[in-house]
Structure 1
Amino acid sequence: MMFPAILRGWQDLIRPEALKILLLGIALALGLLIALGVATIWLLGLLLPDTVNLPFWGPVTWVDAAAGWVAVAVFLFASIFLMAPVASIFTGFFLDDVAGMVEREHYPDLPPVKPLGLLETLGDTLKFFGVVIAANLVALMIYPFVIPFAPFLFLALNGYLLGREYFQMAAIRRMTRAEARALYERNKLTVWITGAIMAVPLSVPVLNLVVPVVGAAAFTHLFHDLARRQLAA
């Protein structure tokens, strides 16, 4: 059940609509990081004087230019680490579209659903990624004390968070929040293990960019598998 859902999620990644959402998230993240870099360099140019008089040296006229190059280097380095989480936040705004694509392709007999409102989607996305960032910051302080178990803690924590959020995102398209929560509680271990498997690529550069889209697709499949089993029981 878990592995077929994950495999189908990866297969759905190559669909044009999924690739479009993935590339849109990456493009928006790049745009934001570039805008922040340009704004920082511009601000440094305003705040730093054109000339600085140093003791035993005299006037130095290249301080603002040097600061600008340093800022560029810092942003390029920071972007390596910021690209994945920022792109994931932007991609998170479109996960409902990923679930809709999966249902149209694999479950065409389902009735249409009312899409979530922009404010509800925005609130859910920011709340989820806020919890993920906060939980992982706390975990970072714990990792040095449990070094041999740090990878397992990473997978367990992020597997729980990813599984809970992506599963309920797929479920509330077809159920009330209370019904989605009840289905999650009955299948918590399955959802958690699936989330842990999906968390593995989070530690791989570039590959971590696709996790939101693949995760949304995989958990949409998992939800329908579990809901169908519940009806058959």
Structure 2
Amino acid sequence: MTRVIIAIGKAVGQLGDRRIVLVLLKSIAATLAIFAALGSALFLALDYVLADWAASYSEEIGAVIAVFATVIGGWLLFRVVALAVIQFFADTIVAAVEQAHYPDRADKARLIPLGEEIRNAAKGAGRAVGANLLALVIAIPLIFTAIGPAVVFWTVNAWLLGRELQDMVWLRHRHPDGPADAQPPVSGPERFLLGGAIAALLVVPFVNLLAPIIGAASATHLVHRRNGPL
């Protein structure tokens, strides 16, 4: 746990790096644009689907359900979109951290081809959608417990984010033709703690725009911790 806290602290301390600021601005713009488009499409789709139902019962009830479903859908979509976007900018963030703290490792990193980046982003987005849909099924019966759904979604996203953030760094140094059973450099508990911390930041307004970048930078420190103590 101490390593995770130190890694996050170092990541926050490097947010002023010019390269990271530029990535932050690009990722925020891309995330908000995609999120707005997907959110609008979701709202229109729900409005269309619920139109007949609302006519039979009550337009007000239909509107409330549409808004509620859009908010829940948007809450889930934001994590998927933010993570998918940051995947495309991960190299710049990781490289900035490596050059500042682990220059010997930075020179050994490989440039991930665009096709591989797209595949990795698609796999990550697929895992996020699938896991969150499963979490939604589990969370619905717990909705009257108030805290139950939040715990379910936090747990699922902690696992997802820990895995994705580690891979953003690890794949730069792992040859694609290497052994399939190669052990990840970050332990399971550390991945979960890092993912849990970033998942918590993702629910804080405005801070959630910084969360993926803090996560990528923190994961870089954790992956390279074997070069020496943090």
What TM-score, normalized by structure 1, do the two folds share? 0.70
Q: 2:121 aligns with which of 117, 122, 125?
A: 125
Partners of 1:160 and 1:196 within 8 A in 2: yes
Whole-angstrom distance in 1 between the partners of 2:167 and 2:82: 21
Aligned twin of 2:23 = 21
Task: State the 1:164 CA deviation.
Answer: 1.3
Partners of 2:186 and 2:223 within 8 A in 1: no
Q: How is 1:1-233 mapped onto 2 (pairs within 5 angstroms)?
A: 1-32=3-34, 81=75, 85-110=80-105, 111-146=107-142, 147=145, 148-176=147-175, 182-184=182-184, 187-225=187-225, 227-228=226-227
Whole-angstrom distance in 2 between the partners of 1:101 and 1:211: 17
Letter in 1 for 2:25: L
Cα-to-partner distance string for 1:114-166 (whole Å, 9 max, x where unaligned): 21001101110121022112211221221132334333322221111111121
Cα-to-partner distance string for 1:145-199 (whole Å, 9 max, x where unaligned): 2334333322221111111121122122223465796433872122212211221
| Higher radius of gyration, 1 or 2 | 1
RMSD of aligned alpha carbons: 3.3
Partners of 2:166 and 2:186 within 8 A in 1: no
Aligned twin of 1:42 = none
Secondary structure in structure 2 of the residue aligned to 1:19: helix
In structure 2, do the counterparts of structure 1 residues 93 and 181 end up closer, same or farther at CA, with 3 Å as the change threshold?
Answer: farther
Secondary structure in structure 1 of the residue aligned to 2:91: helix
Partners of 2:159 and 2:196 within 8 A in 1: yes
Whole-angstrom distance in 1 between the partners of 2:159 and 2:39: 34
How many residues align? The count is 195
Whole-angstrom distance in 1 between the partners of 2:156 and 2:216: 18
Task: State the 1:228 CA deviation.
Answer: 3.2
Partners of 1:98 and 1:216 within 8 A in 2: yes
Letter in 2 for 1:106: H
Secondary structure in structure 2 of the residue aligned to 1:183: coil
Task: State the 1:36 CA deviation.
Answer: 7.6
Partners of 1:88 and 1:209 within 8 A in 2: no
Whole-angstrom distance in 2 between the partners of 1:153 and 1:84: 15
Letter in 1 for 2:23: I
Partners of 1:201 and 1:207 within 8 A in 2: yes
Cα-to-partner distance string for 1:56-96 (whole Å, 9 max, x where unaligned): xxxxxxxxxxxxxxxxxx9xx87975566434422221112
Partners of 1:164 and 1:191 within 8 A in 2: yes
In structure 2, do the counterparts of structure 1 residues 33 and 140 end up closer, same or farther at CA, with 3 Å as the change threshold?
Answer: closer
Letter in 2 for 1:184: P
Whole-angstrom distance in 1 between the partners of 2:180 and 2:103: 21
Whole-angstrom distance in 1 between the partners of 2:202 and 2:34: 21
